[in-house]
Amino acid sequence: MFLINCPFCGEREQSEFKAGGEAHIVRPKQPTELSDDEWAEYLFMRKNIKGIQFERWNHVHGCRKWFNMVRDTSNDQIKAVYKMGEKPPVK
């Protein structure tokens, strides 16, 4: 359990949020052109990093807005929170 600083609502308990997995996976521009391998990469393959990971979160029991987070998955420490569409902070 940890606290998350929602960019819209401020600091709230993690249980108010829903994790949305790895961030910055771009939807293919030409889906019809994709090979099976590329689809597998897009749909299923994940970095699943132990350490600094970029991920999406949704304040599902709050403002219901999506945002991004930089978190150290080895100790659950949050390094940065930023809005959708913004460039990830350089670490």
Partner 1 sequence: MKNKYSIFSLIKNAFSYHENWEKAWKDPEPKKEYDAIIVGGGGHGLATAYYLAKKHNMKNIAVVEKGWIGGGNTGRNTTIIRSNYLWDASAGLYDHALKIWEGLSQELNYNVMFSQRGVMNLAHNLQDVRDLKRRTHANRLNGIDAVYLNTEEVKKFCPIINTSQDIRYPVLGGTLQRRAGTARHDAVAWGYARGADEMGVDIIQNCEVKGIKRNGDTVEGIETTKGYIKTKKIGVVAAGHSSVIANMAGLKLPLESKPLQALVSEPVKPIIDTVVMSNAVHAYVSQSDKGELVIGAGTDDYVSYSQKGSHDIVEGTLNAILELYPIFSRMRMLRQWGGIVDICPDASPIISKTSIKGLYFNCGWGTGGFKATPGSGDLFAHTIANDEPHKLNAAFNINRFVSGDLVDEHGAAAVAH
Task: Tell whether residue 39 is a contact of partner 1 (CB under 8 A).
Answer: yes
**Assigned token pair, 14:** 């993690």
Task: Tell whether residue 49 is a contact of partner 1 (CB under 8 A).
Answer: yes
User: Binding residues for partner 1, how many (CB under 8 A)?
Assistant: 26
Task: Tell whether residue 90 is a contact of partner 1 (CB under 8 A).
Answer: no
**Assigned token pair, 72:** 């150290």
Closest approach, Cβ 16 to partner 1, in A, equals: 10
Task: Tell whether residue 88 is a contact of partner 1 (CB under 8 A).
Answer: no
How far apart CA 69 and CA 21 sit, in angstroms, is: 10
